[in-house]
Amino acid sequence: MNTQIAPQILAKAQEWLNMPYDAETSKKVQQLIDNDPKELEESFYRSLEFGTGGLRGIMGVGTNRMNKYTVAKATQGFANYMKKMFPGKSLAMAIAHDCRNNSPYFARITAEVMSANDIKVYLFEDLRPTPELSFAIRELNCQSGVMITASHNPKEYNGYKAYWEDGGQLIAPHDKNVIAEVEQINSLADVKFDAKNELIEYLGASFDNLYIERIKGLSLSPEMIKRQKDFRIVYTPIHGTGVKLTPQALKAFGFEAVYNVPAQDEVDGNFPTVISPNPEEPAALKIAIERALEVDAQLVMATDPDGDRVGIAVRNDQNNFVLLNGNQAASLLIYYLLTKWQENGKLKGKEYIVKTIVTSELLFDIADKFGVEKFDVLTGFKYIADIIRKYDGKKTFIGGGEESYGYLVGDFVRDKDAVSSCAMLAETAAWAADQGKSMFTLLKELYVEFGFYKEKLLSVTKKGKEGAEAIKAMMEKFRNNAPKLIGGIKLIQIKDYQNSTTQNLLTGETLAIDLPKSDVLQFVLEDGSKISVRPSGTEPKIKFYFGVKASLAAVNLYDETDRLLDDKIEAIKSSLEIS
């Protein structure tokens, strides 16, 4: 026995050496015990937990890895919870998966365990985007849903997004309660593996058509699109699920000049053409931009592996492609939506938008202009879905978004939707073109009207058990020893979402925050700058969000003001000594 292995970890690992664990799994665990105590510790030191995106982890053997057994236990716990919450009711779940390695396998295991628990399963026959799974839950009157995906994480990861009957991801108390049910499963003997195949129904193209028809109904300017039907667009799914339905949605809207990126149309969980399949990363759009230059396109769009987030690139004043961040794309989309809702006479006084607390305040400025109500929620689109659920039948949701490239228009989906967002962002770009403008020019005009908002995100990766401890220590440092000056600017307000308090450092007044508790800190500076700090709920990272603002007197002063705001962000980053 390797004495470097902690006794409690070794004991957990040894449980995996015998039946009912299969021989291949047991062999891999024994190899870790004999040869790799560090990896053994990482694989068994904890059990995977639901975060802002559900269950997510590196694939492999162990309680802290995504594998057949962790997926089955999570599913059994979920099934047990469903039965407690809906006693005596016939239950149903929708299940989908993305392009990742093992995703079809994990989806099938989920379906088998659910059916073994006498729960009807609607299983998509092949990979489908996350938003279609959310749509299916509501459309088919399911009590829950599961999407097998790790979103934009590296290829080594997979995950299990759990949804409730409203089509949104699990939130409190359901998320914690499901985990509690999982933790009560002491052995695999508690898991029902014997599938009842008669309870598994497959969903295919006919259901896709229902989803596309609902997306088509979102269009606000069909006549304009007829004029702009040749507006040139390049779209890439980056080897993911968007390849199936996003071009179909663009076609349904009336766009006829949509170009693909052949090398990235191939569905592949290894993502061979990119370092990371994350549309937030400039490198992920490189091949698509090259394609756009070839075909003289005006807009580039790229979706992540499970088709819920989209990154875009547009032409600047020099006719070169520039990437827009999530705040900029969300602002343009919301501005277009509210403008057209007003022009079309659809604003009746009960409409609203939603953003997350780390997303640009520009969205709220735009909402104020149109007299539209707005809501701030915690990071995670499930909280946007919760607002929609809360006001179902009372108020009308127009749209919402978050800085991490997730947007939603309409309420028939209750998660971020890259398929419909691609269609609506293309409509926004075509609307600008119909006025002789680019998206970039339209953005600068927003800055002149509302102020130049500039945001940047810094993610610091801290992997494994040691990394988790380091992230916790960083949060404690900022929470207990907040700097008085940040970037040479006075700190005047601290919002601590963990303690649900807002502290005004000028007056000493402390107010309550009416949101669920979350490990997030926000520092507001004297000049209006805002810094947010939070551990990621889905990745081994701590994230720093920087938001600064300046007036922009004219569009021709954009570059100069942009540099000044960059300098301010760099000064703030430097003063925080982040490493």
Question: Three-class SS string for 10-29?
Answer: HHHHHHHHCCCCCHHHHHHH
Its pTM stands at: 0.94
| Predicted pLDDT of residue 50 | 61
| Predicted pLDDT of residue 54 | 67
Q: Say whether domain 46-203 belongs to CATH 3.30.9.10.
A: no
| Predicted pLDDT of residue 53 | 58
| Predicted pLDDT of residue 34 | 94
Question: Are the beta carbons of 127 and 244 closer than 8 angstroms?
Answer: yes
151 is catalytic: yes
Reduced to 3 states (helix: H, G, I; strand: E, B; else coil), residue 408 is: strand
Instruction: Spell 40-58 as b/e; 16+ CB within 10 A means b.
Output: bbbbbbebbbbbbbbbbbb
| Predicted pLDDT of residue 1 | 44
Cα gap 128→382, rounded to integer Å: 19
- For the domain 211-436, what is the CATH code? 3.40.120.10
Cα gap 386→13, rounded to integer Å: 39
Question: Are the beta carbons of 137 and 145 closer than 8 angstroms?
Answer: yes
Question: Are the beta carbons of 379 and 518 closer than 8 angstroms?
Answer: yes
First to last CA, the chain: 37
Architecture of domain 452-576: 2-Layer Sandwich (3.30)
Cα gap 413→50, rounded to integer Å: 21
| Predicted pLDDT of residue 538 | 67
Cα gap 49→29, rounded to integer Å: 21
Phi and psi at residue 502, to the nearest 5°: -115, 120
In terms of C-beta distances under 8 Å and separation of at least 24 residues, what long-range contacts does 78-81 make, across chains too?
A: 78/114, 78/144, 78/146, 78/162, 78/178, 78/181, 78/182, 79/113, 79/114, 79/117, 79/119, 79/192, 80/117, 80/181, 80/184, 81/174, 81/177, 81/178, 81/181
Cα gap 291→44, rounded to integer Å: 45
Token pair of 35 as six digits: 């040869």
Cα gap 119→122, rounded to integer Å: 10
| Predicted pLDDT of residue 127 | 97
CATH 3.40.120.10 domain extents, the chain: 46-203, 211-436
Token pair of 85 as six digits: 């919450």
β-pairing, 501-504 vs 452-461, is unpaired
Q: In what order do the strands lie in the sheet with 351-356?
A: 373-377, 351-356, 396-402, 406-409
Residue 47 vs residues 161, 240, 280, 372, 434: alpha-carbon distances, Å: 16, 28, 29, 44, 54
pLDDT less than 50: residues of the chain: 1-2, 52
Around 367, how many Cα atoms within 13 Å sit in the side-chain half-sphere?
23
**What does the angle CA 163 – CA 72 – CA 190 come to, to the nearest 5 degrees?**
115
Token pair of 56 as six digits: 């997510």
If we measure between CA atoms, which residue out of 446, 452, 442, 440 comes closest to residue 551?
A: 452
| Predicted pLDDT of residue 536 | 83
Catalytic residue of the set 151, 360, 404, 529: 151
CATH 3.30.310 domain extents, the chain: 452-576
Token pair of 156 as six digits: 């080594």
| Predicted pLDDT of residue 463 | 86
Q: What is the CA radius of gyration of the chain?
A: 24
Phi and psi at residue 455, to the nearest 5°: -130, 145
